[in-house]
């Protein structure tokens, strides 16, 4: 079975490509390399190009007998999306529409979609169930929610079945140690903490100490990137055996504050990490914790690296051995 992975050279994409390869899928990767790293894909067929270019994308579908698509290609930074909504709506919405159009023309009717906890906005209760009201507070979350709606309509009108996976905070690195997180610029908490431990940064800033949480800092639900990859394969298998369209949360159901993440990282690296208190970052909800019961019971998803210390340990192996990420 051939699977097209858009954005397969990105952080979660490249880990999912490895998982697919291990399970014997033929994988075709498309990535415009605006954020991804060419060297993170070493086995699968690779095409450099933008999914908004329908001639390019149609050419890929014509060359390969694609059965299903996993769609990661998107811009994904909350803060940047507030400053440049134009870029986010263009890349994310036009990208998805172009992909769906080409899938439709080539009779490909199964799609796993990379969605986000940001579709919920500022949640009122936790752990969040999939039915929780969706009121995104930033253009990134809005773009992903619109795409979920577009997918729903494309199922009704054209029979394209899709599973949307709403990730909470992806973290960690593949256990083989040769791929991991490398965003430029880096904005995510765990890589920034570990870069501080490597003395590439002077200190880690704590964005906001006056949130309504026990220690005043934001609480997030961190999930290992390989556990996310596994969920994509389960979703793919479910669609292949005729499952209806659906959406699932993906987290570990346990929240950690920014200070708790830093303290756990200090245990992993064996030294103290300098911090600096800073103002809140715009658009950050206080608490985001998932209920992943639906995917556990319906798709038998089970996290293998659920504990935060183990997640950070895998990230630490990557950062220590690749202090400059994918750059030599």
Active-site residue list: 140
Among 233, 269, 288, 312, binds ligand UFG (CB under 6 A): 288
Q: How far is the CB of 85 from ligand UFG (least distance, A)?
A: 14
Least Å distance, CB 251 to ligand UFG, is: 10
Q: 229, 167 in Cβ contact below 8 A? A: no
Span interacting with ligand UFG, options 114-122, 148-156, 267-275, 309-317, rule CB under 6 A: 114-122
Distance CA 94, CA 249 (A): 24
At which residue do the structure tokens 């708790």 appear? Answer: 260
Using the minimum distance from each CB to ligand UFG, give the nearer residue, 106 or 201. Answer: 201
Q: Could you say which of 118, 173, 236, 299 contacts ligand UFG (CB under 6 A)?
A: 118
Task: Give the x-and-dash track for 248-267 against ligand UFG (CB under 6 A).
Answer: ----------x---------
Q: What is the closest distance, in whole angstroms, from the C-beta atom of residue 299 to ligand UFG in the complex?
A: 22
Q: Which of residues 170-199 bind ligand UFG (CB under 6 A)?
A: 187-189, 192
What whole-number distance in Å separates Cα of residue 232 and Cα of residue 13? Answer: 10
- Long-range contacts of the stretch 55-62 (C-beta < 8 A, 24+): 57/30, 57/98, 57/99, 57/102, 58/102, 58/105, 58/106, 60/4, 60/28, 60/30, 61/4, 61/102, 61/103, 61/105, 61/106, 61/108, 62/106
Q: Whose CA is closest to 56, among 109, 27, 98?
A: 98
User: Nearer to ligand UFG by C-beta: 68 or 197?
Assistant: 197
Considering only the stretches 3-11, 24-32, 110-118, 149-157, report the one whose residues sit in contact with ligand UFG under the rule CB under 6 A.
Answer: 110-118
Counting Cα atoms < 13 Å in the Cβ hemisphere of 229 gives 27
3-state SS, residue 256: strand
The number of residues in the chain equals 328
Range 44-103, binding ligand UFG (CB under 6 A): 76, 78
Residue whose Cβ sits closest to ligand UFG: 218
CB of 65 to ligand UFG, least distance (A): 32
Nearer Cβ to ligand UFG (179/190): 190
- Closest alpha carbon to 278 in 217, 219, 214: 217
| Residue linked to tokens 């079975």 | 1
Applying CB under 6 A, which of residues 63, 83, 267, 281 lies at the interface with ligand UFG?
A: 281
Interaction of residue 225 with ligand UFG, rule CB under 6 A: no
β-pair type (26-31, 110-116): unpaired
Residues that bind ligand UFG (CB under 6 A): 76, 78, 116-118, 140, 169, 187-189, 192, 204-207, 218, 220, 258, 281, 284, 288
């Amino acid at each position: 079975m051939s699977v097209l992975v858009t954005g397969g050279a990105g952080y979660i994409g490249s880990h999912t490509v490895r998982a697919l390869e291990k399970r014997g899928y033929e994988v075709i990767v498309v990535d415009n390399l605006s954020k991804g790293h060419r060297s993170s894909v070493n086995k699968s067929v690779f095409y450099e190009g933008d999914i908004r270019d329908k001639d390019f994308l149609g050419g890929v579908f014509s060359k390969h007998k694609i059965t299903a698509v996993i769609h990661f290609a998107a811009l994904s930074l909350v803060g940047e999306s507030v400053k440049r909504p134009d870029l986010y709506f263009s890349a994310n919405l036009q990208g998805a529409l172009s992909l769906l159009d080409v899938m439709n023309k080539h009779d490909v009717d199964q799609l796993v979609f990379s969605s986000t906890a940001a579709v919920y906005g500022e949640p009122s209760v936790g752990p969040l169930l999939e039915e929780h009201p969706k009121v995104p507070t930033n253009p990134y979350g809005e773009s992903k929610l619109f795409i979920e709606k577009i997918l729903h309509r494309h199922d009704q009108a054209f029979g394209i079945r899709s599973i949307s996976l709403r990730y909470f905070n992806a973290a960690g690195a593949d256990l083989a140690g040769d791929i991991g997180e490398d965003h430029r610029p880096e904005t995510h908490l765990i890589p920034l903490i570990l870069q501080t431990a490597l003395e590439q940064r002077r200190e880690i800033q704590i964005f906001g100490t006056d949130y309504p949480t026990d220690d005043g800092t934001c609480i997030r639900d961190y999930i290992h990137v390989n556990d996310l990859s596994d969920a994509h394969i389960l979703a793919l298998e479910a669609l292949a055996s005729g499952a209806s369209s659906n959406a699932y949360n993906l987290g570990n159901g346990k929240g950690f504050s920014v200070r708790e993440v830093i303290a756990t990282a200090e245990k992993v690296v064996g030294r103290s990490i300098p911090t600096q208190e800073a103002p809140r970052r715009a658009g950050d909800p206080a608490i985001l914790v998932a209920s992943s019961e639906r995917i556990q019971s319906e798709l038998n998803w089970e996290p293998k690296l659920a504990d935060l210390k183990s997640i950070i340990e895998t990230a630490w192996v990557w950062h220590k051995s690749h202090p400059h990420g994918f750059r030599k």
